[in-house]
Amino acid sequence: MNRTVRGAIVAVFGAVIAAMASPACVEYPQSIVVLKVVRPKPNEEGGCTVEPDANGLVNGTLDVLIAQSYSASLAVRNELRSSKDLGKARSEASNVYLLGATVRLTLASGEALTSDPGLDGRAGNEFRTEGSGFLEPGTLSSITVNLLDGAAVCQIARRVEERVNNLKVRPQDQSVQVIAFARVQAQTLGGLSIESQEFQFPINVCWGCLANVTLAGGVCSAPAAAAGDDKPTCNPGQDASITCDKCKSISEYCANGAVSVLPKQCARALAP
């Protein structure tokens, strides 16, 4: 046999063996895909409903004077094909359980933004956030996860606090853009662990930009909710303006106009 031909056969055989020995998860690249972030809507039962086929947000907004973390509902599609054997009574292996996501954060400049400290005490810009969901093959569903956690918000707030103190500017005029990169983890009924592509989503962090605060004598004077408008607000402090009567129970700014650049939990985190 020609040496060149023999070498080619050996190379092909080696490639086949390597492919057989590779982890099973590489057989399904991007078997689940994150498509967009959708806003939850209040429902008649007093809760919130996520419609994964609704229009997606181009970017998010977090008002630190109302909320200190950003929760996002990710629309996820299962790209796996159905592998059910109709001749046998067995579970559908291409159904997928959504388990949560891994998130890394950067500033708009590309600088890594630190988040929760790791087990070794060092801070990193990647953290794990839990969630749940279920997807049949070819369907769309959602999973709600934390894209911007309190530890990262504290890092941003400390930077803005320094700017406010040094430049004597108003916190309400400050904003910081953060880029969240999320990978959703899942598992098929067949036991295969899979992961989505890295989904990128910008979040604008601000102080008071979403709060419609109308004060009279230091007290919120916004009118009471109109008839038919008594549904709960989903994720107050995120992505939509809110009147002070709907956020005064969770925000000192909504209740009495008090402005603090650094949220209280950040100060506690610095305490010995």
Q: Give every CB contact of residue 64 below 8 A, 6+ residues apart in sequence.
A: 153, 156, 157, 205, 206, 207, 237, 261, 263
More confident residue, 242 or 114: 242
Domain assignment present for residue 16? The answer is: no
User: What is the extent of the structural domain holding 197?
Assistant: 24-270
Domain assignment present for residue 61? The answer is: yes
Asked whether residue 35 carries a pLDDT value surpassing 90, the answer given is yes
| Confidence tier at 13 by pLDDT (50, 70, 90) | very low
Domain assignment present for residue 119? The answer is: yes
Q: In the chain, which ranges are E strands? A: 32-38, 41-42, 48-49, 60-63, 70-78, 96-107, 126-135, 140-148, 175-188, 193-195, 199-206, 211-212, 215-216, 219-220, 242-243
Range of lowest pLDDT (76-90, 99-113, 200-214): 76-90
Q: What is the mean pLDDT of the chain?
A: 82
Tell me how far apart the alpha carbons of residues 197 and 143 are, in angstroms, rounded to a whole number: 15
| Confidence tier at 34 by pLDDT (50, 70, 90) | very high
Q: Which two tokens stand for residue 226?
A: 């109109």
Q: How distant, in Å, are the alpha carbons of 63, 157, 180, 227 from that of 263?
A: 11, 8, 21, 34
CA geometry: angle 232, 57, 233, nearest 5 deg: 5
Range of lowest pLDDT (55-69, 113-127, 140-154): 113-127
Domain assignment present for residue 127? The answer is: yes
Domain assignment present for residue 246? The answer is: yes
Rounded mean pLDDT, 46-71? 95
More confident residue, 112 or 117: 112
Scanning the structure block, which residue is given the tokens 């400049």?
109
Q: What is the pLDDT of residue 216?
A: 81
Domain assignment present for residue 45? The answer is: yes
Please say whether the dihedral angle defined by the alpha carbons of residues 153, 59, 130 and 49, taken in this order, is positive or negative. positive
Range of lowest pLDDT (4-8, 19-23, 85-89, 193-197): 19-23
Q: What percent of the chain has pLDDT over 70?
A: 75
Spatial CA neighbour of 145 closest among 241, 235, 240, 53: 235
Domain assignment present for residue 99? The answer is: yes
Domain assignment present for residue 4? The answer is: no
Evaluate whether 236 touches 242 at the Cβ level (below 8 Å): yes
Rounded mean pLDDT, 141-148? 95
Number of domains in the chain: 1
Tell me how far apart the alpha carbons of residues 258 and 92 are, in angstroms, rounded to a whole number: 55
List, for residues 188-232, the tens digit of each pLDDT value.
988 889 999 999 999 999 999 999 888 887 888 766 554 445 667
